[in-house]
Structure 1
Amino acid sequence: MTVALAPAPAGLSVRPVPYAPSVGKRPRQEAFGVVVDGIKDINKLTDDEFAIIENLLYRHGVVVFEDVDVTPAGQHALTNAFDPAAQEYGHGKVGRPEAASILHPDLRNIPAQPAVQLIGNGLVTDDHVLQGLVNPCKLKHPSHQSFHKTQISAEDSAKGFTRFYRWHIDAALYEREAPKVTTLYGLQMPTAKKNIVRYDDGTGDELEVPLGGTAFVSGKVMFDILPAPLKSLAVRTRVQYAPHPYVWMGSAKAKSTGLGMVSDGTEMSLDDLPPWEEKHVKTLPVCWKNPVTGHLHLQVHPSAVHELFIDPLPVGARRQPDTLYPDGAHLTNLKEVRELIYSMQRPGIAPELVYTVDWKPRQLALFHNRGTLHSITGAFAEDEVRAFWQCNQAASVPVVGPSEEDVLEFA
């Protein structure tokens, strides 16, 4: 099956990604994820080529290119083309300096392109991959073993069982705006190895994934499948994120699904955080509006939520017996906040809704960071080499939430 493009430069074609058998009907109907063939030089796109890629990204969430040669400069140029006014890496020019941050500590900025970073696992010795970084360079793939409240046993890990590490959006969630797009370029990785992701939440849900595969879910589908009472709540709710959220949650632990944190009071006190200002604290809508399709995407970083502001039903909306918080609310109990967000998001990471990129060398993936959630998967042996370049930039404009018409439609 080929997704029609009109108009398109000669030689360019688009097809759905190669879905695993586990992918259900809904992502296939949505064409969640497409592969683009026929680009002459990904580092020097024509205006027509980029316009089509940009449109595809907003319509399909993930855009994949196979067997392409990408340079760090080309990757940065492609990423920046989605937001030419963006000036810095998504977490700032200084990267991730806080020692207590839970963000991946093994990122390496490419010297000539600091917004492009080397991530992966093992001892990297290829000068092309390192791009001026000290050779050799030792990297470590994050593991749920250090981030989740509970862990899979060593015996089961050896059998190939694993978990989603952390479902998230690439965003600082403090001071800076969420990037519009993230680009990932695969250079070296083990292939043909599989893991079984266990949700370990009492549902029995499991999902076969390629070792180190990047898992994606659609924020649009996540919203669309909600029952009416949760749709009403979603369009009326804003999330306030904690200041310096990745430091704040540094001593907390995640749920077994990787979808948010366990509430046992271990988060850092706001008084003990690095200096912060109220004006930089982010309060964002639960639903983000797609700039091309107009669809609503349920976009919440579940690990960083702190408080919820719920608007009352709008004038003209009919109050139903099952309407949640019809008069509005400000929720500050962290456990209650997390449980409410979890009830909205957990259906959207069901195994049949997850598309996982099966990485191969010279494969490039772009994802709509304001329309999808993603998680890394798998656990690598120390001697298994995995190397990627990634790039995203703090956006020049804030996200857009539901319109008045959207709220009236769903409330």
Structure 2
Amino acid sequence: MVVKVTPLEGKPLGATIELPEGCNDPSALSEEDFKTLYEAVHKYLVVVIPGMENLEPESQWKLTKRFDPTCDQLGGAYGHGKEFRHENSVLKRDGTSIPGQPQVQVLGQGTWPAGHHGLGEIELRHPTHFDFHHDPLTEKQAFEEDLTRFYRWHIDSALYGLSPPVATTLLGIHVPPHSRKQKILYEDNGDVLDVTQGATAFISGANAFKLLSPEMQERALGTTVVYAPHPYIFISPARATSDGLTMVSEGKETPLDQLPPWEESKIKRLPLVWTNPVTKEHHLQVHGCCLNGLELPDGTKLGLEEARKEVHKMMRPAIAPDNVYAHSWNKGDLVIFFNRGVWHAVTGQFKPGERRLMHQCNIASGLDPYTAKQAQGAAA
């Protein structure tokens, strides 16, 4: 038996993976089987391997590295260091590192006793929109009416100094029951998306690109996104739009001269459109919350507020309910997603006493994303 790939029925993206008989560690797949998995991740963008609750952190790290051999060029850099832990970063409360495998982060909700892979007692906090959105839901809406929001649509990446990871692996170890349902209300048009509590939402960047008009596609293909230095610290005083796509422009961002020391050469300037190296499709890939400007094909430079308006206009059609795959977690689900081909968002909120525990791994790449020009060169 070889790796079996089954597309998710009735979903806009995604597939399930069945490992070869007797294999319980996907990091140990043969080269042939891993190639099947690699191509499935790039084609279906999000794949789910069930029954992996006993996967060791070392194996998760090794599996994640196999998707990008350039990771080893960085001497172990993984993008969760000073930026992730800085006291002013919006990421600071989102997880903790496993002592013996710091590339793997422990995420979740609630208090967990000492002994989890060498950790002492830990208090985990599920990210919610309450302290990140400009106009959050009321307590009544969230906890009595079970409404929720997309917390922040994003691409996993430090977006300063380090290049975006190729793939992210996310393992559900303790997850809430599917009986808790919540609803995402699209406040600009009244649409509703039903999700299970704590679902992770994904959209295809390729579909996002296809939804643009031909004129906007041409414009996007030649546009460069300029990210802020230390972007998660830069945006920490600001607040997000209610759809989680970008930030509200009120001039509240941390002034550049008040950020930790930064270097111009480490500011990330990335294409707005990345090209899938397997399918050769164009993907609209942008972290709308962390950008600081856009450089258009004709040389025009858009500042922060105008850049946010531009990307919001491009991104909004892609998150319509029919385009979203909201993964309902089961214990042992190992989700692997092509981080250079999707955007994803945390959803949901938890009541006191409710708990969740997950392992996440993504590793900064040695190379910036594959562009359309590179794809043309490879095909020549």
Which range, TM-score by smaller chain?
over 0.9
Partner of 1:396 in structure 2?
Answer: 366
Q: Does 2:123 match 1:142?
A: no
How far does residue 18 in structure 1 lie from its aligned partner after superposition? 5.2
Partner of 1:34 in structure 2?
Answer: 15
Q: Is the 8 A contact 1:189 1:385 kept in 2?
A: yes
Q: Which amino acid aligns with 1:62?
A: V
How far does residue 153 in structure 1 lie from its aligned partner after superposition? 1.1
Partner of 1:315 in structure 2?
Answer: none
1:53 to 8, 20, 37: 37
Q: Which amino acid aligns with 1:121?
A: Q
How far does residue 126 in structure 1 lie from its aligned partner after superposition? 7.5
Structure 1 segment 80-159 matched on structure 2, within 5 A = 80-86=65-71, 87-94=75-82, 96-125=84-113, 127=115, 130-134=116-120, 136-158=121-143, 159=145
2:265 to 272, 279, 302: 279
Partner of 1:13 in structure 2?
Answer: 4
TM-score, with normalisation over the residues of structure 1? 0.86
* SS, match of residue 336 in structure 2: strand
2:201 to 197, 204, 215: 215
How far does residue 207 in structure 1 lie from its aligned partner after superposition? 0.5
Partner of 2:356 in structure 1?
Answer: 386
Q: Does 2:148 match 1:174?
A: no
**C-alpha deviations, 1:337-388, integer Å up to 9, x for none?**
1001111100011111000111011110000000000000000112111000
Bigger CA radius of gyration: 1
Name segments (4+ residues, structure 1) moved above 4 Å: 92-95
Q: Residues of 2 paired with 1:182 and 1:204: CA distance? A: 32
Q: Is the 8 A contact 2:111 2:124 kept in 1?
A: yes
Q: Residues of 1 paired with 2:244 and 2:63: CA distance? A: 30
Q: Which amino acid aligns with 1:143?
A: T
1:294 to 246, 260, 280: 280
Q: Which amino acid aligns with 2:3?
A: L
Partner of 1:342 in structure 2?
Answer: 312
Q: Residues of 1 paired with 2:3 and 2:61: CA distance? A: 22
- After superposition, the Cα gap between the structure-2 partners of 1:380 and 1:402, relative to the gap in structure 1 and judged at 3 Å, is same
Gaps of 5+ in 1: 1-9, 313-327, 407-411
How far does residue 294 in structure 1 lie from its aligned partner after superposition? 1.0
Partner of 1:371 in structure 2?
Answer: 341
Partner of 2:64 in structure 1?
Answer: 79
1:360 to 330, 349, 360: 330
Q: Is the 8 A contact 2:39 2:278 kept in 1?
A: yes
TM-score, with normalisation over the residues of structure 2? 0.93
* SS, match of residue 97 in structure 2: strand
How far does residue 151 in structure 1 lie from its aligned partner after superposition? 1.1
Q: Residues of 2 paired with 1:123 and 1:405: CA distance? A: 47
Gaps of 5+ in 2: none
Q: Is the 8 A contact 2:83 2:89 kept in 1?
A: no
Q: Residues of 2 paired with 1:345 and 1:198: CA distance? A: 17
Please identify, of 36-45 and 362-371, the stretch whose mean Cα deviation from structure 2 is larger. 36-45
* SS, match of residue 379 in structure 1: coil
Q: Residues of 1 paired with 2:80 and 2:281: CA distance? A: 29
* SS, match of residue 85 in structure 1: helix
- After superposition, the Cα gap between the structure-2 partners of 1:120 and 1:241, relative to the gap in structure 1 and judged at 3 Å, is same
How far does residue 404 in structure 1 lie from its aligned partner after superposition? 8.6
Q: Is the 8 A contact 2:197 2:348 kept in 1?
A: yes
Q: Residues of 1 paired with 2:82 and 2:64: CA distance? A: 19
Q: Does 2:291 match 1:305?
A: yes
Q: Residues of 2 paired with 1:88 and 1:304: CA distance? A: 24
How far does residue 78 in structure 1 lie from its aligned partner after superposition? 0.2
Q: Does 2:50 match 1:66?
A: yes
Partner of 1:196 in structure 2?
Answer: 183
**C-alpha deviations, 1:28-69, integer Å up to 9, x for none?**
xxxx21101133122422212211111111111011101123
Q: Is the 8 A contact 1:123 1:139 kept in 2?
A: yes
Partner of 1:232 in structure 2?
Answer: 218
Paired residues, number: 367
How far does residue 97 in structure 1 lie from its aligned partner after superposition? 2.8
Q: Which amino acid aligns with 1:330?
A: K
* SS, match of residue 246 in structure 1: helix
Please identify, of 150-159 and 113-122, the stretch whose mean Cα deviation from structure 2 is larger. 150-159
How far does residue 90 in structure 1 lie from its aligned partner after superposition? 3.6
Q: Residues of 1 paired with 2:34 and 2:139: CA distance? A: 46
